[in-house]
Amino acid sequence: MTGPDRRLVALFLDMMAAERGAARTTLSAYEADLADYADFLGSDSGVRAATPDRIRAYLADLQERGLKASSAARRLSAVRQFHRFLYAEGYRADDPTAALSGPKRARSLPKTLSIAAVDRLLAVAREPLDSAAASHGEKLRAARMSCLLELVYATGLRVSELISLPVSAARAKEDFLIVKGKGNKERLVPLTPAAKAMARTYLDLAGAPGKSASAFLFPADSESGHLTRQAFARDLKMVAASAGFSADLVSPHVLRHAFASHLLQNGADLRVVQELLGHADISTTQIYTHVLDERLKAMVRDLHPLGEKP
């Protein structure tokens, strides 16, 4: 990437961080994608002289490299936003991406769990708490996992939001949490009685003598000071195996999907689920429209006067 292109990319990243609150990982992904794009254009063209045909050639090159349609579409999205920025800020007199269409992406359905499967998972996680033979350490680990599961299923939190919850979240008297999500945007998420009760049980066990105080609900000896997503995912797969589930079927993100899918199955509005999940765009939440489609079919079948007739 040439010096002028590097400077423009840096300005774009500064805008994304300052105005849109983009996370560090998001900025790193944009930087890598745009560096690849600028390297393809080369010093003869550069981003300020890129034409629609040159950008199409870049997309063709991505395909020749074997990139999946979803990865190529993400690259094009980064290039589009970059050129919109250049046009808006006066670095270019036009936007060469305006008339471009992106690669078609297959819309895959999110993996999820049935309500019965989630109940089974919660029951297995709680088993050591009801065992007289279990040690304090075993009960504490079971309470922590049960608290994590109850919270993610009750709220649909992202795993990064869940593991970094402050200890005050478990002591709140209200039936909701204030969560700071992507872009430092705050949202309210409701708490179920079961989640609040398990959080209290976990705190009671965690407050035993010898346990150091922490600002985090799930403290750990890690760089961040709280439980890592890798540790949570590993422990969750152990519980899943004990419950008789395949390891690739259960993950923290699958439980977030279960939260959304089960709400929609039971009549929740898509816009409400969007707000609870913290999606900035309704199109992100629309991966769950297959749930709505099935519900609408069932409503027609069960409620329409001719629904049961051939």
Active site residues: 158, 182, 253, 256, 279, 288
Beta bridge partners of 177: 189
Are the C-beta atoms of residues 21 and 182 closer than 8 Å to each other? yes
Burial class, 127, CB count within 10 angstroms (exposed 0-12 / middle 13-18 / buried 19+): middle
Q: Residue 132 carries which DSSP code?
A: T
59: left (phi over 0), alpha (psi -120 to 50) or beta: alpha
Torsion of CA 12, 18, 21, 25, to 10 degrees: 50
Helix axes 3-20, 24-45, angle to 10 degrees: 150
